[in-house]
Amino acid sequence: MSDRSEPKGPGDPSRRRLLGAFVAGGAGLAAVPLAPIAFPEAEAATGPKRQWAMVIDLRKCDGCEDCTKACQTEHELPKTFEWIKVFKVKDSAGGEFFMPRPCFQCENAPCLRVCPVAATFRDAEGVVLVDQDRCIGCRMCMAACPYGARYFNYLDPPASANPFHKPTPQFPVPQQKGTVGKCMFCVHRTEDGKLPACVEACGMEAIYIGDLVDDVATNGHESVRLSTFLKENDAFRYKEELGTGPRVYYIAGHGQLLDN
C-alpha cells in the first residue's frame, strides 16, 4: 500500500453450522451479480473444501484491542504475544487509523518455503499452520515473514487451564518453549462451526471471516457476498507488491457512508 506508512506503533456441531449461517445470512444477496474479481486460490480448490480468508474494515476499527485480548485468552498466550496486533498508522494526508494485523495466511508464504524441517505447512483449507513437535526453533520463518506475524517462545507458556491438553497445529495450546507460534484463523473454532475469537470479540464488527469458494463472509452480525464487498469498498492487501498473496483484505473505503 504505497500511500500508507509502515505500522510502527502499538444440530451438527461442525463447520456446517458456521457455513450454514453464512448462507442464511447471505440469502438476500442472491440477486446481486458477482463482481468481476478473480480468486485464483478459490478456482484451484477442488471438492467441498473451504478456502478461508479474512476482511478487516478499517473504517470501523477503533483500536480497542479487544481482538488481541480475545486471541490471547483463547490461545492462553502471554501478554507480550499479540498474534493479532493493532497498529496506529498515519496516512499520506496526516490522518490516523488503526490497523489490526493477524497472520496473512499467504498463498506464496515465505515462512513455509524457508522452514528446513517442514514444521510450517498449509492445510487443505489454505491456512498456514505450525507443527511445534517438528519445529526446531531456528527462527528462519520469523526472518522470512515480511509482516512480523510470528512469535518465538523463549520462555515456558503460562499455566494452561487444561494441563492434560496436547497441543496440535490446529490448536497449539499451550505453546511449547523453543518453538514459533502465530495466528491460524482459529481453525479449531471454525471446525466446530464457531467464529474465530477475534471476529467474535470485535464490538465494532470490523473483522469478517470469509470463504473464497462460496464467495461469502460474515462478522457474526451480517453476511456479505465477498467479491462484491471487496470491489465496492476498494479493498486492498497489505504489501501485495511482494507477491506473497495474502488472504487478509483491508477496506479503507473512499468516503462511503457506513450503516449505523
Mean pLDDT is lowest, of 25-34, 69-78, 103-112, 181-190, for 25-34
CA dihedral 124, 128, 133, 135 (to 10 degrees): 140
Q: How confident is the model at residue 46 (pLDDT cuts 50, 70, 90)?
A: low
The Cα–Cα gap between 16 and 190 comes to 9
pLDDT of 251 strictly over 80: yes
DSSP β-bridge partners for residue 86: 100
Q: How confident is the model at residue 16 (pLDDT cuts 50, 70, 90)?
A: very low
Q: What is the pLDDT of residue 47?
A: 57
The Cα–Cα gap between 41 and 28 comes to 26
pLDDT of 27 strictly over 50: no
DSSP β-bridge partners for residue 82: none
15-29+50-251 CATH, one of 3.40.50.2300, 1.10.10.10, 3.30.70.20, 3.90.1150.10: 3.30.70.20
> HSE-up of 160 (CA within 13 Å, CB side)?
15
pLDDT of 2 strictly over 50: no
| Length reported for the chain | 260
pLDDT in tens, 118-157: 999 999 999 999 999 999 999 999 999 999 999 999 999 8
Query: What pTM was computed for the model?
Result: 0.81
Residues 6+ apart with CB under 8 A from 239: 1, 146, 147, 246
pLDDT of 7 strictly over 60: no
Cell of 233: 469498498
**What mean pLDDT is reported for the chain?**
85
Q: What is the pLDDT of residue 4?
A: 43
pLDDT of 115 strictly over 70: yes
Higher pLDDT, 31 or 46: 46
Q: How far is CA 87 from CA 8, 61, 102, 144, 237, in A?
A: 7, 11, 11, 21, 16
From the list 182, 169, 110, 172, the residue with the least C-alpha distance to 141 is 110
